[in-house]
């Protein structure tokens, strides 16, 4: 079966047959799906956590061919009737945080997408694994590498799959750069820069609560540069150093990082210089430099459209809603054993958590911290 990436590349090449597309035009999945009929298994998904991102995923799944939203799990039961009506969800597929263990007796749900505050991921994944359901867990997968490994172990013991919500692993411009690097287009990789940040608003939100978030900007937006450095360079880092800047200790309390600069060293000689912040706007850029060429994504990880260019010119792949592609691809991974170009299993999530743990240790100690991923 040809991959979605191959299809998108062919689709882009044949764009002359389409009306001229504005660079901000979003190509609907229905337009693409019409050209690629599907007759295969459907992943039946329940969403756990009905906040803003859970809603975004639910809306994107309307255009999925291989995944279908069939259930909900909410800590705020008053939200459930609205979701039932909007997404045609039967009562028997609705749960709260106290009774969702009963999902083990529901054959109409294959997998649960956990989209709750970070510190709640660990317990949820352990309970869902015990209930025999596949799990998709939003990133960061946990608040420590130890928790992440326990989640991986629990899913392995239950013989269910654990995937992490790395939507960028399916983004076509990102995959094109990875393909070019693998083919040697850039030569020896020398440097990566990752800038990930925005100015956070409401000071009472859970992302600024250490008990719920496990940290600050690094746990929310900085993880994009961590993960991006790994898949853009194509190696695993073996050391990290980091420095923290905190200008607003009232908003960013103890244990909630405002801004961290961090550096990663790679065995092939490349270095990465990255920034994670909750206090600066217009920071969403990846830059990869090699002896023979370069690649840039700007914006690099937003909801799109992603813009990219290399030393060979602009990347012109059409934009498709990230979460729609993600859920269809995850269906193939879970139900048909497809191997993604960039891994996104629980082990990959643990690697990012090991780096985050080391970054916080580097900030505390001022030392360069060795990594063993």
Lowest mean per-residue pLDDT among 32-36, 80-84, 205-209: 32-36
Q: What count of other Cβ atoms lies within 10 Å of the Cβ of residue 184? A: 11
**Cross-sheet strand order for the sheet of 189-199:** 313-315, 308-310, 294-297, 279-290, 189-199, 271-277, 259-265, 239-245, 369-370
Identify the CATH number of the domain in which residue 155 sits: 3.40.50.720
- Asked whether residue 8 is assigned to any structural domain, the reply reads no
DSSP 312: T
Range of the domain at 284: 168-318+346-370
Instruction: Please indicate, yes or no, whether residues 132 and 31 belong to a single structural domain of this protein.
Output: yes
pLDDT of residue 134: 98
Joined together, the tokens standing for residue 161 give 């799959």
The pLDDT of 53-76, averaged and rounded, is 98
Instruction: Please indicate, yes or no, whether residues 137 and 208 belong to a single structural domain of this protein.
Output: no
pLDDT of residue 35: 61
Instruction: Please indicate, yes or no, whether residues 246 and 111 belong to a single structural domain of this protein.
Output: no
End-of-domain residue from the set 116, 151, 166: 166
Instruction: Please indicate, yes or no, whether residues 119 and 196 belong to a single structural domain of this protein.
Output: no
Given a cut of 60, whether residue 107 has pLDDT beyond it is: yes
| Phi, psi (degrees; rounded to nearest 5) at 198 | -160, 170
- Asked whether residue 264 is assigned to any structural domain, the reply reads yes
DSSP 342: S
| Phi, psi (degrees; rounded to nearest 5) at 95 | -140, 160
- Asked whether residue 327 is assigned to any structural domain, the reply reads no
User: Confidence band (pLDDT; 50, 70, 90) for 10?
Assistant: very low
Instruction: Please indicate, yes or no, whether residues 144 and 265 belong to a single structural domain of this protein.
Output: no
Instruction: Please indicate, yes or no, whether residues 352 and 207 belong to a single structural domain of this protein.
Output: yes
Instruction: Please indicate, yes or no, whether residues 310 and 186 belong to a single structural domain of this protein.
Output: yes
The pLDDT of 152-160, averaged and rounded, is 98
3-class DSSP assignment, residue 359: helix
Active-site residue identified among 65, 66, 139, 354 = 139
C-alpha angle 155/158/163, rounded to 5°?
30
Residue entry with tokens 């937006």: 221
Given a cut of 80, whether residue 363 has pLDDT beyond it is: yes
- Asked whether residue 331 is assigned to any structural domain, the reply reads no
3-class DSSP assignment, residue 311: coil
The pLDDT of 68-73, averaged and rounded, is 98
Number of domains in the chain: 2
Whether 360 is catalytic is no
Instruction: Please indicate, yes or no, whether residues 186 and 314 belong to a single structural domain of this protein.
Output: yes
pLDDT of residue 264: 99
Average pLDDT for the chain: 92
Give the span between the Cα atoms of 278 and 187, in whole angstroms.
34
State what percent of residues in the chain have pLDDT above 70: 91
Given a cut of 90, whether residue 238 has pLDDT beyond it is: yes
Instruction: Please indicate, yes or no, whether residues 176 and 148 belong to a single structural domain of this protein.
Output: no
Nearest Cα neighbor of 164 from 353, 361, 357, 367 is 353
pLDDT of residue 36: 72
Given a cut of 80, whether residue 113 has pLDDT beyond it is: yes
- Asked whether residue 263 is assigned to any structural domain, the reply reads yes
End-of-domain residue from the set 125, 148, 166: 166
- Asked whether residue 332 is assigned to any structural domain, the reply reads no
Rounded alpha-carbon distances, angstroms, from residue 113 to 116, 134, 143, 322, 364: 9, 9, 17, 15, 34
pLDDT of residue 5: 44
Instruction: Please indicate, yes or no, whether residues 40 and 140 belong to a single structural domain of this protein.
Output: yes
Whether 161 is catalytic is no
Given a cut of 50, whether residue 17 has pLDDT beyond it is: no
Identify the CATH number of the domain in which residue 173 sits: 3.30.360.10
Joined together, the tokens standing for residue 9 give 């590349």
Asked if 43 contacts 336 with a C-beta cutoff of 8 angstroms, the reply is no
Give the span between the Cα atoms of 239 and 229, in whole angstroms.
13
Active-site residue identified among 113, 224, 231, 278 = 224
Give the span between the Cα atoms of 175 and 256, in whole angstroms.
33
- Asked whether residue 86 is assigned to any structural domain, the reply reads yes
């Amino acid at each position: 079966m040809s991959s979605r990436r191959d299809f998108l590349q062919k689709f882009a090449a044949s764009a002359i047959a389409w009306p001229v597309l504005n660079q901000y035009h979003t190509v609907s999945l229905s337009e693409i799906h019409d050209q690629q009929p599907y007759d295969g298994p459907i992943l039946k998904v329940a969403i756990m956590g009905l906040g803003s991102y859970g809603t975004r995923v639910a809306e994107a799944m309307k255009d999925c061919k291989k995944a279908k939203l069939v259930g909900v799990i909410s800590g705020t039961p008053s939200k459930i009737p609205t979701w039932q009506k909007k997404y045609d969800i039967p009562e028997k597929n609705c749960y709260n945080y106290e009774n969702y263990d009963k999902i083990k007796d529901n054959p109409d749900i294959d997998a649960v997408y956990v989209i709750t505050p970070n510190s709640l991921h660990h317990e949820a994944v352990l309970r869902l694994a015990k209930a025999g359901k596949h799990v998709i867990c939003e990133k960061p997968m946990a608040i420590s590498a130890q928790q992440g490994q326990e989640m991986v172990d629990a899913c392995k013991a239950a013989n269910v799959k654990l995937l992490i919500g790395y939507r960028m692993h399916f983004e076509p411009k990102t995959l094109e750069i990875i393909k070019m690097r693998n083919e040697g287009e850039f030569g020896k990789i020398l440097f990566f820069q990752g800038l990930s940040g925005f100015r956070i608003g409401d000071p009472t939100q859970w992302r600024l609560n250490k008990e719920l978030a496990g940290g600050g900007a690094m746990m929310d937006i900085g993880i994009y540069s961590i993960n991006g450095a790994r898949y853009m360079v194509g190696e695993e880092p073996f050391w990290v150093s980091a420095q923290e800047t905190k200008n607003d200790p009232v908003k960013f309390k103890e244990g909630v990082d405002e801004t961290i600069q961090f550096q990663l060293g790679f065995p092939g000689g490349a270095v990465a210089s990255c920034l994670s912040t909750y206090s600066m706007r217009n920071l969403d850029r990846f830059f990869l430099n090699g002896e023979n060429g370069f690649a840039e994504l700007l914006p690099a990880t937003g909801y799109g459209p992603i813009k990219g260019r290399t030393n060979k010119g602009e990347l012109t792949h059409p934009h498709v809603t990230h979460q729609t592609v993600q859920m269809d691809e995850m269906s193939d991974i879970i139900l048909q054993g497809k191997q993604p170009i960039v891994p996104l299993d629980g082990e990959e999530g643990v690697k990012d958590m090991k780096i985050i743990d080391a970054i916080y240790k580097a900030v505390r100690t001022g030392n360069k911290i060795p990594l063993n991923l």
